[in-house]
Amino acid sequence: MWDSSKCNLCGDCLTRCLYVDYDKSKAAGDIKLLMEGKPADILYKCVTCCACYEYCPTGADPFDLILKMQEQTHAFPISKEGVGMFGLAPTIPSRVTEGDADKPVLSLCVMQLPEGAVEGQMFKGMPVATGGDFFCYVGYMHAGMESPLAQNAKKFIDNLAALGREIVFLHDDCYAMVDAKVKDYGINVPFKYMHILEYMRNYLRDNQSKITRLNKKVAYQRPCASRFTPGKDVFVDEIFELIGVQRPSRKYERETALCCTGAFVRVYPQLAAEVQAKNVDDAIQAGADALITLCPMCDRVLRKPTAEKNLKKIYITDLCRMALGEKDFPD
């Protein structure tokens, strides 16, 4: 949550932004205007990637300030139909499948996953929760809106708590809500939880005898919501080490990762095409055999641009299943 007492107008949040070309003076000036409750250029240039949350060295949370001002001024040019898509998510019928009593519940939110993404030995026996009751509302950030998160966070937590089990979150947005955003709203999380990356790391670490190292180079597409929980990035490195893939250094990764553009592909289509090209070209130039995605939205958005440049696009659970002998690495 925005904390003006922590902001020293250093400008890092916007000078480091990959989607605007700001110097320190311009960055500080825009933030100062927003602090005064006045519109600033950044409201009309922000692509809602959340990166400035991570870039802020003092923890002031400038993204929250920008987001709230975007909602107040209607600066983010998303259509009513676009906003309506998020409104449909809570109405999707909810379902919890039965599973083993000693297994945590795998929460999938309302996201459509690649076929077979949560099949195989890693996920055998896990109960699965899907549907509107388990929609986290974080996606509204990509509509330039913050109030739906605040209004529905408690309901989201209560619905998960009612399951009475430990929760494993596949969707990075859901994990960001539970591990970070609820703290802004003073909400207690009364259940144990972990991210799917940690769950997979644990499984692979405990079953190393089943792994055949892949000996590949892969680029990782970091989800925007990872900006709120960057500490879990270590699990990606540990997973890759366990299954024998190298994560080559490249320009657009970790803190300097580019958004998949799913957040703004229909709002700023030309910019989205340019960003996708930069991202895919960067992975190819780094020598990657494939681009690995975690977020289901990233997976869908990046299928076409990777295919056009003959770069393999692999969902991270499938990559792990390849190392476990359940799937073949694509030719």
Task: Taking residues 140-155, report their average pLDDT.
Answer: 96
The per-residue pLDDT for 18 is 97
Is 162 a domain residue?
Answer: yes
Same domain, yes or no: 181 and 213: no
Same domain, yes or no: 179 and 212: no
* pLDDT of 79 over the 90 cut: no
The per-residue pLDDT for 83 is 85
Task: Taking residues 273-294, report their average pLDDT.
Answer: 98
Q: Would you state the structure tokens that stand for residue 254, as one six-digit string?
A: 């970790």
* pLDDT of 191 over the 90 cut: yes
Same domain, yes or no: 188 and 217: no
* pLDDT of 331 over the 90 cut: no
Is 330 a domain residue?
Answer: no
Q: Which one, of 15, 16, 19, lies nearest residue 272 by Cα?
A: 19
From residue 84, alpha-carbon distances to 81, 88, 90, 296 in Å are: 5, 6, 11, 19
* pLDDT of 8 over the 90 cut: yes
Same domain, yes or no: 128 and 244: no
Reported as a pLDDT band with limits 50, 70 and 90, residue 307 is very high
Q: Among 6-20, 81-95, 248-262, which is the least confidently predicted range? A: 81-95
The per-residue pLDDT for 85 is 81
Same domain, yes or no: 68 and 89: no
Last residue of a domain, one of 54, 73, 92: 73
The helix (H) or strand (E) run that includes residue 290 is strand 290-293
The CATH code of the domain that includes 267 is: 3.40.50.1860
Mean of the per-residue pLDDT values of the chain: 96
The per-residue pLDDT for 193 is 98
Last residue of a domain, one of 73, 107, 134: 73
Is 85 a domain residue?
Answer: yes
- 54-66 residue pLDDT tens: 999 999 999 999 9
Q: Which one, of 254, 256, 222, lies nearest residue 19 by Cα?
A: 256
The per-residue pLDDT for 155 is 97
Same domain, yes or no: 58 and 168: no
Reported as a pLDDT band with limits 50, 70 and 90, residue 299 is very high
The per-residue pLDDT for 81 is 82
Same domain, yes or no: 203 and 319: yes
Q: How far apart are CA 171 and CA 225, in angstroms?
A: 9
Sheet holding 95-96, edge to edge: 95-96, 128-130, 105-107, 167-169, 193-195
Is 148 a domain residue?
Answer: yes
Same domain, yes or no: 146 and 169: yes
Q: What are phi and psi of 51, to 5 degrees?
A: -60, -35
Q: How far apart are CA 42 and CA 27, in angstroms?
A: 9
Burial-class residue 80 by CB neighbours within 10 Å (0-12, 13-18, 19+): exposed
Burial-class residue 270 by CB neighbours within 10 Å (0-12, 13-18, 19+): exposed
Are the C-beta atoms of residues 9 and 32 closer than 8 Å to each other? Answer: yes
Beta-strand (E) ranges in 70-190? Answer: 95-96, 105-107, 128-130, 167-169
The one-character DSSP state at 177 is: I
The parent domain of residue 164 ranges over 81-195
Query: DSSP string of 190-239?
Result: -S-EEEHHHHHHHHHHHTGGG-----EEEEEE--GGGGG-GGGHHHHHHH
The per-residue pLDDT for 38 is 96
Same domain, yes or no: 41 and 66: yes
Same domain, yes or no: 36 and 53: yes
Is 188 a domain residue?
Answer: yes
Same domain, yes or no: 96 and 187: yes
Is 328 a domain residue?
Answer: no
Is 98 a domain residue?
Answer: yes
Q: How far apart are CA 250 and CA 18, in angstroms?
A: 15
The per-residue pLDDT for 84 is 84
The per-residue pLDDT for 237 is 97
Q: Which one, of 234, 238, 218, 204, lies nearest residue 323 by Cα?
A: 204
- 193-227 residue pLDDT tens: 999 999 999 999 999 999 999 999 999 999 999 99
Is 57 a domain residue?
Answer: yes
Count of the separate structural domains present in the chain: 3
Last residue of a domain, one of 195, 230, 255: 195
Task: Taking residues 182-198, report their average pLDDT.
Answer: 97
- 24-57 residue pLDDT tens: 999 999 999 999 999 999 999 999 999 999 999 9
Reported as a pLDDT band with limits 50, 70 and 90, residue 276 is very high
Same domain, yes or no: 69 and 104: no
- 237-265 residue pLDDT tens: 999 999 999 999 999 999 999 999 999 99
The helix (H) or strand (E) run that includes residue 311 is none
Q: Which one, of 140, 228, 132, lies nearest residue 184 by Cα?
A: 228
